[in-house]
Amino acid sequence: MVLLQFLNVENQKPMEGRTPASSFSTIGDQASSSNQIMWLFSVFGGIIMCKVAYDLTGVISPLVFKGFNKLESVQKFEWKNRGISTFHALFVAIASYYFLFVSNLFDEHDQQEFIIYRSSASSNTILAMSLGYFLSDLTMIIWMYPTLGGPEYVFHHGLSMLGIIQSLICGQAQFYNFIVLFSEITTPFVNIRWYLDVAGKKNSMFYLLNGVAVFVGWLAARVILFIFFFLHMFTHLDQVKQTYWTIFCSLLTIPSGLTIMNLFWFWKNCQRIDQNSHKVHKT
């Protein structure tokens, strides 16, 4: 819905923005004590979700992969950790799709309020639960450093958490947060590639096909979608400039940093696909 409608923004009637006074009153309403309690419960719910996903992965994996019990303890830990990230990716991708394409929360034709200011109780809940995931996963990454990932993962999670926290407190830029969260849809395919590698299926055709899926998904969700992200920001610059200066700076810097990382990982994925295609052809 939004992807098709934003191109017609120039034909829409101008909306009145918020004055600084009304903006400060809005942040007071957004960060009220009742909302803070709800956010804390949602963050805690996200942490519990991670624990459940971790345990379920440990129960289901031996039934699917007989060699699971023979893995080293570090490999088992990462295996189950990737189960958490897979579940979170599917969870936030579905939620983001709903808010961006199904619900009317970010409908461009709604003239009552700037899209940059829109939020709801359900969108706040999803963002807070996602914050719980990033907090849990970052804790695991630091605890097992560098087994689960190097500084780029710490940087990625730190940027994601900063963007979500600001959006929750200020009630602004949630539309752009959900665009970024939707890009997590590529994570399950990346995790499947790791699972196949550990299972000794690196030279299989399924591994190659999954690599192609990673390539296509990454190109669509982490390259092309981010191009739309910046185009939408440019066409709605009048709204973006009315956000708090911390939000404005974050919208300029955080997505740019994530884009650089996405392009780097995209290049690395292309190299892996090329290497594995040669191996499959030889076997």
SS (H, E, C) 191-254: HHHHHHHHCCCCCCHHHHHHHHHHHHHHHHHHHHHHHHHHHHHHHCHHHHCCCCHHHHHHHHHH
Q: Which pLDDT belongs to residue 108?
A: 84
Average pLDDT over residues 80-91: 98
d(CA 47, CA 32): 23
pTM attached to this predicted model: 0.86
Query: pLDDT tier at 197 (50, 70, 90 boundaries)?
Result: very high
Structure tokens at 88: 């979170």
What's the pLDDT tens digit per position in 233-255? 999 999 999 999 999 999 999 99
Average pLDDT over residues 111-124: 89
Average pLDDT over residues 43-54: 98
d(CA 252, CA 264): 19
How would you class 174 by CB atoms within 10 Å of its CB: exposed for 0-12, middle for 13-18, buried for 19 or more? buried
Q: Which pLDDT belongs to residue 277?
A: 63
Q: Which of 28-32, 37-41, 176-180, 209-213 is least confident?
A: 28-32
Task: Give Cβ neighbours of residue 231 (< 8 Å, ≥ 6 apart).
Answer: 6
What's the pLDDT tens digit per position in 140-190? 999 999 999 999 899 999 999 999 999 999 999 999 999 999 999 999 999
- pLDDT cut 90: percent of the chain above it: 73
Query: pLDDT tier at 75 (50, 70, 90 boundaries)?
Result: very high
Query: pLDDT tier at 14 (50, 70, 90 boundaries)?
Result: very low
3-state percent helix, strand, coil for the chain, nearest multiple of 5: 80, 0, 20
> Per-residue pLDDT for 53 more than 90?
yes
SS (H, E, C) 9-42: HHHCCCCCCCCHHHHHHHHHHHCCHHHHHHHHHH
- In single-letter form, the type of residue at position 215 comes to F
Extract long-range pairs of 122-125: CB within 8 Å, 24+ residues apart. 123/99, 123/174, 123/178, 124/35, 124/38, 124/39, 124/42, 124/168, 125/38, 125/42
Q: How far is CA 1 from the centre of its chain?
A: 20
Contact predicate 132/50, CB 8 Å: yes
Average pLDDT over residues 252-269: 89
Q: Which pLDDT belongs to residue 34?
A: 76
> Per-residue pLDDT for 32 more than 50?
yes
Query: pLDDT tier at 226 (50, 70, 90 boundaries)?
Result: very high
Q: Give the residue carrying structure tokens 């665009």.
A: 179
Among 29, 82, 30, which Cα is nearest to 60's?
82
